[in-house]
Amino acid sequence: MTATTKQLRVVDVILPLAVEGSFTYLLPASEKEPEVQVGQRVVVPLGKKKEVMGVVETVREAREDEEVGVLREVLRFPEEGPLVTAEQMQLWQWIARYYMCSLGEVMRAALPNSLRQEKESRRRKTPDGIGEKQTANALNEEQTRAVEEIYQAWEKTPTVLLFGVTSSGKTEVYIHLAEETIRKGKKVLYLVPEIALTTQLTDRLRRVFGERLGVYHSRFTDRERETIYKNVLAGDRYDVVLGVRSSLFLPFRDLGLIIVDEEHDTSYKQQDPAPRYHARTVALMLGSIWSARTLLGTATPSVETYYNALQGKYGLVEMKRRYAGLDLPAIHLLDLQRAYKQKKMEGHLSLPLVVHMREQLEAGKQVLLFQNRRGYNSFIECPECGYVPKCVNCDISLTEHKPVAEGLPSRLVCHYCGYSIPAPSVCPECGKGEPVDRGFGTEKIEEEAKTLFPEARIARMDTDTTHAKDAHEKLIRRFADHEIDILVGTQMITKGLHFKDVSLVAVLKADAMLNQPDFRAQERAYQMLEQVSGRAGRAGTEGHVILQTSDIDNPLFKHLQRHDYEAMYAEQIEERKAFRYPPFYRIIGMTLRHREQSRLEAASRTLHDRLKQVFGTRCSEVIVPAVGRVQNLYIRQLTLKIEASASYAKAKEMLEAELRYVKGLGPCKGTLITLDVDPM
Ligand code: ADP
Ligand code: ZN
């Protein structure tokens, strides 16, 4: 290169695409603008006509061997200076590597939509309320001790598990630690697994942090999220950000503390689309980038986290008692098989439960009825011929939904793809029977409760009743304000919520969760049931829990009755070891999809055979999932189990090489392959 030729400067740009590799562009020759920076947004041409928004990953001089002649120029810079910080870029790169996805996919998850498009962005007022600022509650003795122990543990390791029973006052401990972090001039990220939890916490945190609290989740409009993003980037607006997993992607400055509340919660895992990340894992990485401290809090730790704590990898601090000396709720088991035999049932509610409900309602208390619909789909069936209507696109039976308004017919809906038809009044198969609801979903329970307690105010909370914006928040507030006497709900109602008048919680079929073909089924059932129990008796009211079950001898219920997490853990960790599961092994899941079953089967076999050669017994056989076809695509799965002692990065590299190879082979053309690192 001679002094006369202008040195050619190029940028590698991250584009919001699922393709690997970066895209190189020339900087405009007439560039008079300030120096281009990493993390800055650029508008670049793509294909024949398209213009897309990208983020600069590197700024460099063209290499001598690079064919600059074919490169196209950056079109515009929407603003001066970076919108993505160096720390964010580091996090994006780590996520792309760890979760085996493209940087573009991380970018899609990380930036609010409006920042990924070009349009004029006006600064808007933040959607925050005002709120009187007060000071936090003074901690009691146990909380003070916990705080001291947490600081001691942080001296040794950046991550600490706060294992405190439900209502032990963990939230107050978080608030206290957040205040101290702020006093040292640093920022706090407070993660919760669900939007529902931000609702109650916002009020509580607003009282302490006032306007210095930022809240971030997907129910906000895109513009609102953009405003919050920019406020965080500016660095002077918030001390605490409360949010769901996507808030990990905000452009933090001086992050000092990350709180992962309800760390065991599976909602922290992003299922679709890529990056299929776990917020707890990413939080630990974010913490390490900032040299920040991380606190994982829960009443029911995930087996992996508790294992890490026992191994000394994380610090462990416990709070065994409820705040203000309240007792943990008494858990009663009810044998459903016997109740059915003795005809002591009113629909799906046992007589003792009905009696107890009546007592509590008469005493002015509230009742939570929990029905886990997952893995327990409702369906309709013809009593004459046994015909069950199924979805035309998916291998799953349709679920009956009551009409939205009186006079309209019920509809049968597919929970996977949304396909729906009017409910038939006569069986379309035999033309004789009248199909009946064999299901046992929340809707059915609500109906039964209304018949049994006509005078009570009854509401239902599940994905169907919470579609509308704010519907969730409204329901929670109404229940918290005791405008509802009985709330029927799915797992949505189990999470960390605090309702002072709830004296009775009932689980209508507690064993439903135990019979899932999933190595986490027992752990999850324990967590869910302990959490749902924890909603009972939180403010001076004695709490009772009734678990109706057809599997009364299952040892899990004994552990629950004693609130004996350790016993459950001891059993589970043995099984994990024996059957090669986390934390002893790490799992990478692969899902293959194709419209044609035969092509899919050929592709699965090809991939399976290759992986067997490379990974041996670490590769599973081809799995046909319980629902083997969704939205007209057939599905097959494969898993790899990698010893925790082996290099995960190396294994992923090898897998990537195999996938690249296999994708070029005839049988695999047109087969969609998605990866899930650490699936849940
Ligand atoms: P957890 O987060 O462990 O479930 P919370 O922090 O929600 O428990 O506490 C349970 C209840 O006890 C809440 O109503 C909370 O306001 C109250 N509480 C906990 N600690 C204190 C404290 N130090 N001072 C006053 N009230 C407290
Ligand atoms: Zn369907």
Distant-in-sequence, close-in-space partners of 96: CB < 8 Å, separation ≥ 6: 102, 103, 105, 106, 275
Closest CA to 91 of 245, 239, 216: 245
Q: What is the pLDDT of residue 130?
A: 47
Distant-in-sequence, close-in-space partners of 179: CB < 8 Å, separation ≥ 6: 136, 208
3-class SS at 358? helix
Q: What is the pLDDT of residue 92?
A: 98
Mean pLDDT of 337-363: 94
Looking at the chain, the number of H-run helices and the number of E-run strands are: 17, 28
Residue nearest (by alpha carbon) to ligand 1 atom 25: 137
Most confident option among 116-125, 413-422, 606-615: 606-615
**d(Cα 571, Cα 15) in Å, to the nearest integer?**
47
Q: What is the pLDDT of residue 204?
A: 92
Cis peptide before 273 (omega within 30 of 0): yes
Pocket test residue of 142, 327, 498 for ligand 1, highest count of atoms within 8 A of CB: 498
**d(Cα 357, Cα 350) in Å, to the nearest integer?**
11
pLDDT at 122 over 70: no
Q: How confident is the model at residue 477 (pLDDT cuts 50, 70, 90)?
A: confident
**Burial bucket for residue 483 (CB in 10 Å: 0-12, 13-18, 19+):** exposed
Amino acid at 42: V
**Cα 63 to the center of its chain, rounded Å:** 43
Q: Is the C-beta atom of 550 inside 6 A of ligand 1? A: no
- The region, left, alpha or beta by phi > 0 then psi within -120 to 50, assigned to residue 670 is left
Ligand 2: distance of its center to the CA of 390 in Å?
8
Which residue(s) pair with 546 in the sheet?
A: 332, 506
**Contact 250/237 with Cβ under 8 angstroms?**
no
Which residue(s) pair with 317 in the sheet?
A: 162
Closest CA to 297 of 408, 190, 415: 190
Q: Higher confidence at residue 537 or residue 65?
A: 65
pLDDT at 513 over 90: no
Residue 578 φ/ψ, nearest 5 degrees: -65, -40
Q: Higher confidence at residue 393 or residue 566?
A: 566
Distant-in-sequence, close-in-space partners of 455: CB < 8 Å, separation ≥ 6: none
Compute CA distances 307 → 100, 315, 316, 375, 531, whole Å. Answer: 26, 11, 10, 28, 20
pLDDT at 403 over 90: no
Q: Is the C-beta atom of 307 inside 6 A of ligand 1? A: no
Cis peptide before 383 (omega within 30 of 0): no
Token reading at 618: 């670490």
Q: Is the C-beta atom of 499 inside 6 A of ligand 1? A: no
Q: How confident is the model at residue 539 (pLDDT cuts 50, 70, 90)?
A: low
Ligand 1: distance of its center to the CA of 567 in Å?
27
pLDDT at 322 over 90: no
**Contact 337/182 with Cβ under 8 angstroms?**
no
Mean pLDDT of 195-223: 90
Residue nearest (by alpha carbon) to ligand 1 atom 10: 167
Ligand 2: distance of its center to the CA of 413 in Å?
8
Closest CA to 544 of 559, 552, 534: 534
pLDDT at 414 over 60: yes
Q: Higher confidence at residue 149 or residue 194?
A: 149
Q: What is the pLDDT of residue 1?
A: 43
Q: Is the C-beta atom of 171 inside 6 A of ligand 1? A: yes
Mean pLDDT of 616-624: 95
pLDDT at 64 over 90: no
pLDDT at 48 over 70: yes
**Burial bucket for residue 181 (CB in 10 Å: 0-12, 13-18, 19+):** buried
Q: What is the pLDDT of residue 56?
A: 96
**d(Cα 616, Cα 640) in Å, to the nearest integer?**
10
Residue nearest (by alpha carbon) to ligand 1 atom 27: 169
Pocket test residue of 144, 262, 323 for ligand 1, highest count of atoms within 8 A of CB: 323
Closest CA to 607 of 618, 622, 586: 622
Compute CA distances 122 → 103, 114, 539, whole Å. Answer: 28, 11, 45
Q: What is the pLDDT of residue 31?
A: 56
Mean pLDDT of 29-47: 84
Q: Higher confidence at residue 500 or residue 364?
A: 364
Q: Which percentage of the chain shows pLDDT scores above 70?
A: 93
Amino acid at 86: A
Segment 24-29 long-range contacts (CB within 8 Å, at least 24 positions apart): 24/66, 24/71, 25/71, 25/72, 25/73, 25/74, 26/62, 26/68, 26/71, 26/72, 26/73, 26/74, 27/59, 27/73, 27/74, 28/73, 28/74, 29/73
**d(Cα 508, Cα 8) in Å, to the nearest integer?**
69
Mean pLDDT of 62-77: 90
431-465 pLDDT tens trace? 988 887 766 778 888 989 999 999 999 999 887 77
- Out of 46-55, 156-165, 278-287, pick the least confident: 46-55
554-592 pLDDT tens trace? 999 999 999 999 999 999 999 999 999 999 999 999 999
Q: Is the C-beta atom of 298 inside 6 A of ligand 1? A: no
**d(Cα 172, Cα 150) in Å, to the nearest integer?**
14
pLDDT at 3 over 50: no
- What mean pLDDT, rounded, does the chain reach? 89
Q: Is the C-beta atom of 172 inside 6 A of ligand 1? A: yes
Q: How confident is the model at residue 34 (pLDDT cuts 50, 70, 90)?
A: low
pLDDT at 86 over 90: yes
- Out of 237-241, 347-351, 472-476, 524-528, pick the least confident: 472-476
Compute CA distances 641 → 266, 308, 638, whole Å. Answer: 20, 19, 10
**d(Cα 149, Cα 633) in Å, to the nearest integer?**
52
Q: Is the C-beta atom of 102 inside 6 A of ligand 1? A: no
Q: What is the pLDDT of residue 312?
A: 97
Cβ neighbours of 64 (radius 10 Å): 7
Compute CA distances 486 → 370, 450, 505, whole Å. Answer: 11, 9, 10
Could you give the strand order of the β-sheet that contains 50-61, starting from the edge strand earlier in sequence?
23-26, 9-14, 50-61, 41-46
- Out of 140-149, 203-212, 535-544, pick the least confident: 535-544
- Out of 301-310, 342-351, 526-535, 639-648, pick the least confident: 526-535
Mean pLDDT of 647-668: 93
Which residue(s) pair with 400 in the sheet?
A: 412
Q: Is the C-beta atom of 231 inside 6 A of ligand 1? A: no
250-289 pLDDT tens trace? 999 999 999 999 999 999 999 999 999 999 999 999 999 9
**Contact 137/166 with Cβ under 8 angstroms?**
no
Cβ neighbours of 398 (radius 10 Å): 24
